[in-house]
Amino acid sequence: MERHSLHGGIDVAEPDRPVTELGEFLRSRRDRITPDEAGVNSYGRRRVPGLRREELAQLAGVSVTYLTRLEQGQSQNASDAIIDALARALRLDSDERAHLYALAHPAPADRPRAGTTEVAKPGAELLLHAMGDVPAVLLGRFNDVLAWNHAGHRLLAGHLDCEAPHRAEDRPNLLRLLFLDEHTRDLYVDWTDETARAVASMRYVAAQFADDRRLAELVGELSVNSPEFARLWAGHDVKLCTSGSKRFRHPEVGDLDLGFEVLHLPEGNGQRILTHTAEPGSASFAALRLLTSTL
């Protein structure tokens, strides 16, 4: 039961309705913008600080009925003008706007047929190994490790079998490791920041594959076994994370301050290469060289 309906100036629960990713995302953004921020005159007793559905409809120039149908997945032909109007009313950033478009207009994706296993693109795997002492990992659409070079394995998961990515039945998944594996949790100095970034990035990618059973299974597993993941996933934060920095506390070489880059493959199938580098001449550079020189 949602609680943002307006009746006689008082917030009351809305009728039960089907839950869609689009509806949940719009509701989560409504909850995070106040009437003052949106330039709406507030009236009546409010139980929550966010926008009511009626207020968002007014700001976007659409009817409440249409917005309700859109949230319930009953309207599949929302124009770009309407999506833009909703994005402006909710003050979405560029990543959130792109996410809204992906949810409103899901495009066919290059994905494996039902029952098939995602495999590494051969050229991408060759590229990983050509990078030498640069830690690199080839990730699938939902953060399965499809391949890694030896440096990537030593940096991120030296406690696991290096050949594990080649075995579909126990292939590592970076998201699962981050939330459920104690070694990985200890690896990240800023574990809370890392989890928030990972889930926000997954939200962005997952919009392209919202009906994929593999995604539903992974989200279900992590939601049951990790309260932290369940809370972050329910927050619907969205961010396309392509570069930044991370702090590691590696069990073999100690503290590392590394930059990361995420390179999305041009096929648009969700596969991407994650690399880590250190500033030349820094203590982290020396520590990373020590780690990779023992291969």
CA distance 178 to 180: 6
Mean pLDDT of 233-258: 94
For tokens 């499809």, what's the residue?
Answer: 146
Mean pLDDT of 82-95: 92
Domain extents for the chain?
5-104, 122-293
Contact criterion met (CB below 8 Å) for 255 and 115: no
pLDDT at 131 over 80: yes
Contact criterion met (CB below 8 Å) for 139 and 145: yes
Assign residue 281 a region (left: φ > 0; alpha: ψ between -120 and 50; beta: otherwise): left
pLDDT at 14 over 70: no
CA distance 201 to 207: 10
Q: Which residues, in sequence order, are bridge partners of residue 233?
A: none
Burial letters 165-176, b for 16+ CB under 10 A, else e: beeeeeebbbbb
Cα separation of the two ends of the chain: 56
Query: pTM for the complete prediction?
Result: 0.82
Assign residue 110 a region (left: φ > 0; alpha: ψ between -120 and 50; beta: otherwise): beta
Q: What would the two tokens of residue 201 be?
A: 């990035």
Least confident of 83-87, 109-113, 173-177, 275-279: 109-113
Which pLDDT value is given to residue 186? Answer: 96
Question: Letter for the amino acid at 176?
Answer: R
Note the pLDDT tens digit of each residue in 192-226.
999 999 999 999 888 877 778 888 899 999 999 99
Total residues found in the chain within this entry: 295
Question: 289 phi and psi, to 5 degrees?
Answer: -65, -40
Binning the chain into helix, strand and coil, the percentages to the nearest 5 are 50, 15, 40
CATH number 3.40.190.10 is the correct assignment for the domain at 5-104: no
* Closest alpha carbon to 250 in 168, 186, 194: 186
Cα 23 to Cα 68, 140, 197, distances in angstroms: 8, 27, 22
Mean pLDDT of 88-101: 92
Q: What would the two tokens of residue 153 be?
A: 């394995």
Note the pLDDT tens digit of each residue in 42-79.
766 777 778 888 889 999 999 999 898 888 877 767 88
Q: Please give the CATH topology (third level) of the domain spanning 122-293.
A: Beta-Lactamase (3.30.450)
